[in-house]
Amino acid sequence: MQEMHSTSGQGGTAVRPHHEDAARTWSLGGQDYDNISFGVSDALAHAAQRLNPKPGQQILDVATGTGWSARNAARTGAQVTGVDIASGLLDAAEALSAHMQPAIRFQQADAEQLPFEDGSFDGVISTFGVMFAADQAQAARELARVCRQGGRLSLAVWAAEGAVQDFFGVIGKHSGESPPEPSPLAWGDPDHVRALLGEDFELWFEPAINNHYFDNVEDAWEWYARGFGPIRQVMNSLSPSEQAVFRQDIDDYHGKYATDAGLHIRREYLQITGRRK
């Protein structure tokens, strides 16, 4: 993979030490993580359309995963770079994006230490990605640093409360790990985002709903058990009897979204659009 394990232009390795466990966890989904992105693809399209990339512009997708938002941005002819801490997802992103013209460049890099010069990009996008960086203020500074004056920022982040908070609560109950502080879901609070980004960006906020559909809870379980790294990580750490309890809790969570036609999961998120001052 081209430049997959390059080092940061600011010194240090591509993945900061406090993100190494997260990189391994998210990598567990591999190419099947692309199905997770498919399930939130309405929100990813929303973010790409708000980014509004133009042909020839330099665009950065931070925490690209399997490259879904990078491909969305590249549709217009933009020159896109996608970065992530998870090598397993980057391998999948490169394979899934091989058909794109112009070609997308993928590189392993940490949102808290982006290996690019100041003002390198005309637009920066991150869809349910940069919000998981441990040092939120540092990640926000990096978003601002690499975006040129007048450039565009587009972030899709999960709401501070609601469906995703409940989902991660079920996972956290079985992982035995303390929830991160501050919570990644703090990005869903406009006041918090203004504190992080308001000095550098003019900001606009759009509360929205992601819609995801399954026939039944069994389909939902198989979908996430294959492609969602945090669920795979928990399953790997549990005994068979504990795994059964975990699965039942996930099934119960998804069962709340049953309709006559099947499951209809509604996840609250916030679309953040910014212009670099």
Domains of the chain and any CATH numbers: 17-161+179-213+268-276 (3.40.50.150)
pTM: 0.94
Instruction: Give dist(CA 239, CA 174) in Å, integer.
Output: 11
Cα–Cα distance list, 107 to 16, 90, 210, 223, 249 (Å): 15, 7, 28, 27, 36
Residue 108 CB contacts under 8 Å (≥ 6 apart), including other chains: 3, 4, 5, 6, 14, 15, 83, 84, 85, 87, 90
Per-residue model confidence as pLDDT tens digits over 15-65: 999 999 999 999 999 999 999 999 999 999 999 999 999 999 999 999 999
Mean pLDDT, range 131-136, rounded to an integer: 98
What integer pLDDT is reported at residue 174 of this predicted model?
A: 97
Q: Please give the share of the chain, as a percent, with pLDDT higher than 70.
A: 96
| DSSP per residue, 99-136 | T-SSPPEEEE-BTTB--S-TT-EEEEEEESSGGG-S-H
What integer pLDDT is reported at residue 9 of this predicted model?
A: 36
DSSP label of 187: G
Mean pLDDT, range 255-262, rounded to an integer: 98
DSSP label of 12: S
